[in-house]
Structure 1
């Protein structure tokens, strides 16, 4: 018989159903006239089409993907058939009781399951009527079918708390540094900003410390200071679905304005519940007329600082330090112009699901980064209760020596009409001058998303306060009016910067009405439109604080354009700030790559923009931007501008995202200044295996461990790859959610293989979860093995010392991976003493330069 037909015959035989194979006999003579040329194939006679062992696969429950895992499969007894196993592999999946719990099986309803020891293999169909499993070996897919009556009713996205992982013990550090050197017509200046977050994870406990350092040097002096933001311990109280915080933190912002606190807080963590609304963070939008510095303050703390390019910008990676409280956005242009506006930051309509109770308890001392505040002791509590008929009741209280407040309210979900909530707060306060005031504040909030018309009202709010209403924060002020901060800054040209009117307060003129709106609308082929606005009025004067931002985004052929308009006027500010900006971009990468000028993998854009600043000056700017390097982790841009009053200007910048961190560098010039900008950011993680550098760490992260596999990229992680030891960090992960972690095996070198490149982790908040992968470093070889001057029998299993294995094919050939230069192979093709042999091989080091080698060895 032609030996080329052997693989085909074996494939046909192994693909037959277990029923068809019952009673069949594989005659070695069908493959060769010499019985010694064929290994023992008796395992196929009983329907065992596949070998038992552990296999990486995807698990599906009732047709829905559940997770990826590595499961052990045991050989079935007898003929390999069983009614609850709907496949022909002759194997049974080794599912444990914990696996069934994760699938949502109502274990107490089946006495046969409740008594199964932990870790013992369970077949669902043996104890659950009509349940079965089906293993698709070719697709590496295990389907588990369980009747709905045997499953617990769980909401979408539910993850069993037993799978929540507190992570590893680790020490971590996050850093963000930015600065600029300016040479201006009126003097030189330098500014630097450093944000450090350090921490320690031990079991379920998290220790975090956040502080900033700033240095401003100019002709008026040198101001350097550290600012302590917070230090706290935190851990999850899983049975209560709550988070305990001790130290510096913030109170909840659903009922009262969020306050900075040094004390203890115990509050419900909604992210422990599936399908509940997650935390909300606003998108900070604005317009920069040049390469401007954007600084964001909340509760007196500078929580964000960065440089932005000319034009409209949107900051989406903001992590507020508290769950409520307005954000003050300060845009400092390169020529020294400073503009300020307020972004309202408060909860959406206060709603809870039926039966869901959320609480927030806090006690301690009020704290602020400004020395204009005292530190009174206070306590605060709030409760939200979801009732039937889409109704939510909520309320709370604040208590201090000079302040008493009580709030009650209700929320209602109206289906397609949106959601609404309203509440009233009664306050009794004593200010620093000894005057006592009583008043009320009424708040109304509305939100709606209408998908059919593309309309989204993210937040519409109204607050009315009587003349005697004050907040707890206002009672902590040491004077009745003044500036919250002392600033002595200069612009890039060396001119003094005017004071920030957002930092001015006057308790004699308290707030009266406030209206805020955020609206977005899809316009079909015309693009999309958004508008946000706030208006704040006061009791003692007619001045108002107004902020309006509007924008239109669309495309015309290959041209994308954006038109933005900003208006801001703060009470007490001499004049309003108005900016208008038009920007357009055209992709050139597809056009140039078709002509062979650039690589298609890299982006290349041509840009043009024109803007009108608050003083009426019009500027024009044209430039090019794109990406470079293999992973597109280098962003670059160059531009040239012109203004009638300021003359020519230009800018060039680079931004690199790498595994150990990020770096940026920029240079800009105009008639009045020369500016160099720079910045670095990243993280460091110390764990049991050493130190791993990373990009800036988020609240929750994943440590990837592939010991021995260097420079392995992570899927969907720009610039993230393992270091020289095989470790890296995925800096962001969702707490209490299943996170998919995958390695890009297409980038592996010719001598590295990874058993299973995909895993899933479920971290608790603040955890550093370890995702371990097994890599095999070695040689890929096609070996021809001979025994007694004959090729090894067809179908002989061959195993390598240390793990690798394969089956002998035609002429004694076997494919093996992960082989070291020297080692031992073991072959066994029968049960007799003379039906096994070993190979002790030794390969020259030059084979390490080859992707695949072919060699012949003698098996003794």
Structure 2
């Protein structure tokens, strides 16, 4: 990729860069190989069946011949559950063993290799006084079931860093440790070297159903600078006089992080008792006393259709100033659901130690044939003497085929506001210009001549425009994508020869998806034998001259024919004989009535002569 973007931040801290980005895209692999799963190896004593379970769920099963076997295409279904492997032999005996599984971002399957390289110039969306050239390379290698090794290097004009690490999958969880060494020589930092050590742990404790999704700790020495910190410091220093010693003393190691600890944990209780979520973060700095901390704990559950949550939050900055917040919220669907239309009544009340208590009630919903309309009405009210404010608001949005239009108005004590927004895309191509919804990284362009108004069923609100093209705003790269058109509402003269097409796009592409259509006048001929006997249902109808099929006999002798002239002769092919229909239409009279009869069809009556 060429352009402005950010590095992935998996090993070195993410930073902005304009230049060239080249990396392994795991989406190119089969779906079963994209995420980490261990390699399962074993030995069967006879013609046996191998069954693999995760969390009690069978995720893989197959027959194997006698001898060693290897399974490398597992698709895991849980987070952190070890794999239980059972080999059932032909004589009825079984043997079991366990393969540890604890996924981390750094873990790869055995033998997989992943890399990313970026070359360009440092870039920031705000200040760009210091924009050094920079190159970065990182790589990961799945060594075996238990170990993934990774490392990389970063080289710039006044900065360089190298990092090495490894991730291990164990019975106690997934663990990764990496070490980074940096060297920087800038006016704002001086010439310093530093070290940083990071530890990450994740696991699912099955007996208690405790999910630790991320627990990490990073320690950085006083002289360690990440590249984005160094660039930011130099940009900041460029605003001042570097000859002023006091200025340099104040701004050297500005907000210089020393240590950081993060944890996120979810505890699932017994069935029907809900779950508890706990998260916490703590940071301290070399140039500041104290630490910044934030803790949150919440409990969520549901009763029938009522969802509710209780939460508490505490935040403290490095000056020792802190506040507490407590919140109770619930949501209840009302009025029932009709073809996807939903309405919710939600409410919440919270207490802030500095700002008092407040409550909110909101009625919101989604409606429309394609669920394209959303709406909401809300009010906020102060609940004590610390908070006497009150406000009211109204908001809504419409997701059309060409854009999302949203707006809202609100009014409170001493203020009122209004907002209007529009978000979408413009796709220019050889067939014209089409407006579409907000685009993803891979896009589809549907071409269906004369099928304007046909609904693209995979995307809410998307349709084929009057130029015969429509925009599919997002597709899954390197995977099969089924794109379907709904012919309902099309002109009677237009027929979709196919309503579904599969495509496998490359990431970043705009894929043209061509639907074949037939645009021929559709006519209705009411016919019967000369003695009044109805024509047999399903009999084929052909053009008398060309012998091309133009339709079939329907119920009551009605013939829907396509692509016929204003007058002519048709042949109805019966089981042992044929009959002929001579017909004619008054096209001028029909065209005169068409504006007042949208969707009307030309019709006439004529007998079928043997």
TM-score bin (small chain): 0.7 to 0.9
Matched, 1:535 2:291: no
Instruction: Tell me the SS of whatever aligns to 2:455.
Output: coil
Measure the CA separation in 2 of the matches of 1:557 and 1:795: 52
Matched, 1:770 2:512: yes
Matched, 1:663 2:405: yes
Shift of residue 680 of structure 1? Answer: 1.0
The residue aligned with 1:607 is 346
Relative to 1, partners in 2 of residues 1:417 and 1:689: Cα closer, same or farther, differing over 3 Å? farther
The residue aligned with 2:449 is 707
Matched, 1:384 2:140: yes
The residue aligned with 1:350 is 106
Relative to 1, partners in 2 of residues 1:640 and 1:373: Cα closer, same or farther, differing over 3 Å? same
Instruction: Tell me the SS of whatever aligns to 2:341.
Output: coil
1:430 and 1:475 in contact (8 A); partners too: no
1:551 and 1:563 in contact (8 A); partners too: yes
1:463 and 1:514 in contact (8 A); partners too: yes
Measure the CA separation in 2 of the matches of 1:837 and 1:734: 53
Shift of residue 425 of structure 1? Answer: 1.2
Matched, 1:518 2:264: yes
Measure the CA separation in 2 of the matches of 1:803 and 1:708: 23
The residue aligned with 1:424 is 179
Gap regions ≥5 residues in structure 1: 1-244, 280-346, 486-503, 594-598
Shift of residue 546 of structure 1? Answer: 2.5
Relative to 1, partners in 2 of residues 1:702 and 1:481: Cα closer, same or farther, differing over 3 Å? closer
Shift of residue 652 of structure 1? Answer: 0.9
Instruction: Tell me the SS of whatever aligns to 2:370.
Output: coil
Written as runs of structure 1 = structure 2, the 5 A alignment for 1:121-270 is 245-270=1-26
1:481 and 1:506 in contact (8 A); partners too: no
Relative to 1, partners in 2 of residues 1:709 and 1:375: Cα closer, same or farther, differing over 3 Å? same
Measure the CA separation in 2 of the matches of 1:758 and 1:380: 44
Written as runs of structure 1 = structure 2, the 5 A alignment for 1:613-628 is 613=352, 615-628=354-367
Relative to 1, partners in 2 of residues 1:372 and 1:662: Cα closer, same or farther, differing over 3 Å? closer
Shift of residue 527 of structure 1? Answer: 3.1
The residue aligned with 1:856 is 606
Shift of residue 369 of structure 1? Answer: 2.6
Instruction: Tell me the SS of whatever aligns to 1:603.
Output: strand
Q: Which has the higher contact order (CA 8 A, sep 6+)?
A: 1
Written as runs of structure 1 = structure 2, the 5 A alignment for 1:658-737 is 658-737=400-479
Gap regions ≥5 residues in structure 2: 37-102, 241-249
The residue aligned with 1:588 is 334
Q: 1:444 aligns with which of 179, 183, 199?
A: 199
Of 694-703 and 711-720, the range deviating more from structure 2: 711-720
Measure the CA separation in 2 of the matches of 1:508 and 1:849: 71
Q: 2:321 aligns with which of 575, 581, 590?
A: 575
Deviations 1:763-819 (A, max 9, x none): 1111122223344565474643769999889975324699864445899x4643656
Measure the CA separation in 2 of the matches of 1:557 and 1:418: 35
TM-score normalised according to structure 1 size? 0.54
Shift of residue 655 of structure 1? Answer: 1.3
Shift of residue 434 of structure 1? Answer: 5.8
Shift of residue 266 of structure 1? Answer: 2.3
Of 733-742 and 507-516, the range deviating more from structure 2: 507-516
Deviations 1:250-301 (A, max 9, x none): 334222112222232322222212234479xxxxxxxxxxxxxxxxxxxxxx
The residue aligned with 1:562 is 309
Of 791-800 and 522-531, the range deviating more from structure 2: 791-800
Relative to 1, partners in 2 of residues 1:849 and 1:617: Cα closer, same or farther, differing over 3 Å? same
Relative to 1, partners in 2 of residues 1:532 and 1:794: Cα closer, same or farther, differing over 3 Å? closer
Relative to 1, partners in 2 of residues 1:713 and 1:255: Cα closer, same or farther, differing over 3 Å? same
Q: 1:741 aligns with which of 483, 493, 508?
A: 483
Measure the CA separation in 1 of the matches of 2:292 and 2:569: 80
Relative to 1, partners in 2 of residues 1:641 and 1:470: Cα closer, same or farther, differing over 3 Å? closer
Matched, 1:375 2:131: yes
**CA RMSD, Structure 1 to Structure 2 (Å):** 4.0
Measure the CA separation in 2 of the matches of 1:781 and 1:454: 66
Instruction: Tell me the SS of whatever aligns to 2:229.
Output: helix
Instruction: Tell me the SS of whatever aligns to 1:723.
Output: coil
Relative to 1, partners in 2 of residues 1:605 and 1:835: Cα closer, same or farther, differing over 3 Å? closer
2:113 and 2:140 in contact (8 A); partners too: yes
Measure the CA separation in 1 of the matches of 2:548 and 2:252: 75
Of 514-523 and 740-749, the range deviating more from structure 2: 740-749
The residue aligned with 1:755 is 497
Instruction: Tell me the SS of whatever aligns to 2:109.
Output: coil
The residue aligned with 2:60 is none
Greater percentage in strand:
2
Shift of residue 392 of structure 1? Answer: 1.3
The residue aligned with 1:296 is none
Deviations 1:305-349 (A, max 9, x none): xxxxxxxxxxxxxxxxxxxxxxxxxxxxxxxxxxxxxxxxxx943
Instruction: Tell me the SS of whatever aligns to 1:474.
Output: helix
Written as runs of structure 1 = structure 2, the 5 A alignment for 1:68-107 is none
Instruction: Tell me the SS of whatever aligns to 1:271.
Output: helix
Shift of residue 564 of structure 1? Answer: 3.8
